Amino acid sequence: MLRPVRPDGFVEPCLPTLATRPPAGPGWVHEIKHDGYRLIVRRDGDKVRLFTRNGFDWTDRFPVIVTTAGKVRAQSFTIDGEVVVCDPDGLAVFEALQAAQRWPEAFLYAFDLVELDGADLRSEPFGERKAKLAKLLARQKGGIVISEHVEADGAAVFAAACRMGLEGIVSKRVDSPYRSGRTTCWVKTKNPEHPAVRRVRETWRWRR
């Protein structure tokens, strides 16, 4: 059963399951996994709010995203995405995102549309939600960018992402609804040589 949208507009995000290799077979598409912060963008009329995956309000941190969201031609929407700061080569740099002076440079890679003009889209297939998201953002530039996906062999996409120095990929079932919490319909595969993976390993060693 779908979890209700909270009165403040926050929706608990859908979380991918970690795997050692991407899923194979038909019905899957693959997106780049960017090294940033998960962010829920909620617009209701003229009001825009940005929430972390745990529901904290970070609206004041990312002014470019707020300004762009305010220009989208819709009365209301809820977008799920990843906020990043990129280097000149277009690679997300987590350390730059952590620096307060770089927040004005941050933008959102949008990858899902949860609500639009009062319609709850969570029961719709991912492929349909993504198509509506692309249409919604077709005129926008700068602060919110669509996270493109590819329909190809997952192993080949993951290998290419590793060669490019990216964090990894997230594979998604095109027919899956949006479910808050952990799901096997979204699967993340991480590049073992990426700094984000090394950060996790170092944190784990420290906690032990």
**Which one from 33, 172, 188, 190 is the annotated catalytic residue?**
33
Three-state SS annotation for the chain: CCCCCCCCCCCCCEEEEEECCCCCCCCEEEEEECCCEEEEEEEECCEEEEECCCCCECHHHCHHHHHHHHHCCCCEEEEEEEEECECCCCCECHHHHHCHHHHHHCEEEEEEEEEECCEECCCCCHHHHHHHHHHHCCCCCCCEEECCEECCCHHHHHHHHHHCCCCEEEEEECCCCCCCEEEEEEEEEECCCCHHHHHHHHHHHHHC
172 is known as an active-site residue: no
Residues designated catalytic: 33
